[in-house]
Amino acid sequence: MLVLSNADVERLLPMSDCIAALEPMYADYANDKALLSPRVDNMAPTTHPGAYYAFKHMGGTWPARGVQALRINSDILKHPVIAGKPRREKQPLAGGRWVGLVLLFSTETGALQAIFPDGVMQRLRVGSANGIAMKHLARRDCRTLALIGSGWQAGAQLMAALSVRAFKEVRVFSPRAATRDAFIGEARSRHPGVDILAAGSAQACVAGADAIMAATSSMVRVLEPAWLKPGIHVSCIKSQEVDGEVLDGCDRVFVHTARQAKQMDNVLPGTPNVSEEHKRGWWNDPARPAASYPDLGQLVAGSAPGRARDDEITCFANNVGMGLQFAAAGALVLERAKASGVGHELPDDWFSEDVHP
């Protein structure tokens, strides 16, 4: 049993390889050859005032790679009001750190094969999903990218976009100018040869862009219907960043998956500040449910057609995560870690037993 670190995952899993690892999983998912475990969230009170405990897990079984993944998050959450809006804030109370883990099992032997933190892979898998969608939906001659957001997820969106299209210019907008400028500094050194520019407004950011990627933690619409010019491709990493009006303005919309509930909530009475916002939105609108759109798997498998003409407006609404992403990316990381002797090896007997119920 191998214990890996975020640094190991980052070293072993370049974005382009993560995209290549996930793509066949999506096709298998569309063809009923890969299986999600649903996302389940338990929420309960703690002794910390105003905070609650959230235990989340999601998983996936991918027989083609012989892998079962389970991703677990164990967080103490607060919803402080910042600039008038409630924000969902994970408290680093585990010795000043956060707790998110991925467990990988073999579907051929049952064995637990690896445990590693989820943070780096979480970011890569979101980037990959949107990168795969862009690869199949955006015009091939895209040159200008508008990036809304300059946080950790925005960096992965940029990596993914540059893995699938030869963008020459990237414009970054964020209401937080200092964060944006730090982001641009890092992005420039990571992506030499691409013009990475700060945009002073969202409008300046998107003007003339061939693609717009939203990568924020916003609970309200970030993409504006007025930005939907013929030929553009748009995407988000969170359902709330788009709304019905945006989706209705696109010629072709794909979701990540509509085959699982967004999440299954188990909330203990007395749990403070739990947000119900994820339950309200276009994805639950009977007039326009997520299930009315084809999913990324169908796009990759070719069972739902992608862009047909250069002037179409295409959209990837990454509505919910899929535990299968951790199975696909995890299988590759595990293979590489074993091949290169990376990680802490622990005795397999600690994680198996000679009795069974």
Buried b (16+ CB within 10 A) or exposed e, 249-279: bbebbbbbbbbbebeebeeeeebeebeeebe
> Residue 127: which H helix or E strand, with range?
helix 119-137
Q: Least separation, in Å, of the C-beta of 230 and a second copy?
A: 34
Q: Give the number of residues in contact with a second copy, rule: CB under 8 A.
A: 80
Residue whose entry in the numeric block shows the structure tokens 């640094």: 7
287 and 62 Cβ atoms separated by less than 8 Å = no
What token pair was written down for 152? 């950790």
75 and 90 Cβ atoms separated by less than 8 Å = yes
Contact segment (CB under 8 A) with a second copy among 120-128, 158-166, 201-209, 312-320 equals 120-128
Q: With respect to a second copy, which residue has the nearer C-beta, 34 or 333?
A: 34
φ/ψ of residue 242, rounded to 5: -120, 170
CA-based torsion, 349, 350, 352, 353: positive or negative: positive
Q: Least separation, in Å, of the C-beta of 116 and a second copy?
A: 9
Length of the chain: 357
Interface with a second copy (CB under 8 A), residue from 11, 16, 20, 40: 40
Binding mask 136-155 for a second copy (x = CB under 8 A): ----------------xx--
Question: Does the footprint of a second copy cover residue 118 (CB under 8 A)?
Answer: yes
Q: Site residues for a second copy, window 316-345 (CB under 8 A)?
A: 344
Binding mask 170-189 for a second copy (x = CB under 8 A): --------------------
Start-to-end C-alpha separation, the chain: 22
Interface with a second copy (CB under 8 A), residue from 49, 110, 286, 341: 110
Question: Does the footprint of a second copy cover residue 244 (CB under 8 A)?
Answer: no
| Rounded distance between C-alpha atoms, residue 110 and residue 352, angstroms | 9
Contact segment (CB under 8 A) with a second copy among 3-11, 13-21, 198-206, 274-282 equals 3-11
Q: Least separation, in Å, of the C-beta of 18 and a second copy?
A: 15
Question: Does the footprint of a second copy cover residue 90 (CB under 8 A)?
Answer: yes
Question: Does the footprint of a second copy cover residue 50 (CB under 8 A)?
Answer: no
Contact segment (CB under 8 A) with a second copy among 15-23, 79-87, 103-111, 280-288 equals 103-111
Q: With respect to a second copy, which residue has the nearer C-beta, 119 or 244?
A: 119
| Rounded distance between C-alpha atoms, residue 235 and residue 250, angstroms | 11
Interface with a second copy (CB under 8 A), residue from 12, 25, 115, 205: 115
307 and 138 Cβ atoms separated by less than 8 Å = yes
Q: In the 3-class helix/strand/coil scheme, how is 287-336 assigned residue by residue?
A: CCCHHHCCEHHHHHHCCCCCCCCCCCCEEEECCCCCHHHHHHHHHHHHHH
Q: With respect to a second copy, which residue has the nearer C-beta, 3 or 207?
A: 3
DSSP 8-state code for residue 113 = E
Q: Least separation, in Å, of the C-beta of 126 and a second copy?
A: 8
For the chain, the C-alpha Rg in angstroms (whole number) is 20
Interface with a second copy (CB under 8 A), residue from 11, 16, 72, 86: 72
Interface with a second copy (CB under 8 A), residue from 27, 61, 114, 129: 61
Question: Does the footprint of a second copy cover residue 350 (CB under 8 A)?
Answer: yes
Question: Does the footprint of a second copy cover residue 190 (CB under 8 A)?
Answer: no
Q: With respect to a second copy, which residue has the nearer C-beta, 40 or 304?
A: 40
Question: Does the footprint of a second copy cover residue 276 (CB under 8 A)?
Answer: no
32 and 299 Cβ atoms separated by less than 8 Å = no
Interface with a second copy (CB under 8 A), residue from 70, 146, 222, 234: 70
76 and 89 Cβ atoms separated by less than 8 Å = no
| Rounded distance between C-alpha atoms, residue 21 and residue 274, angstroms | 35
DSSP 8-state code for residue 41 = E
Interface with a second copy (CB under 8 A), residue from 94, 166, 177, 291: 94
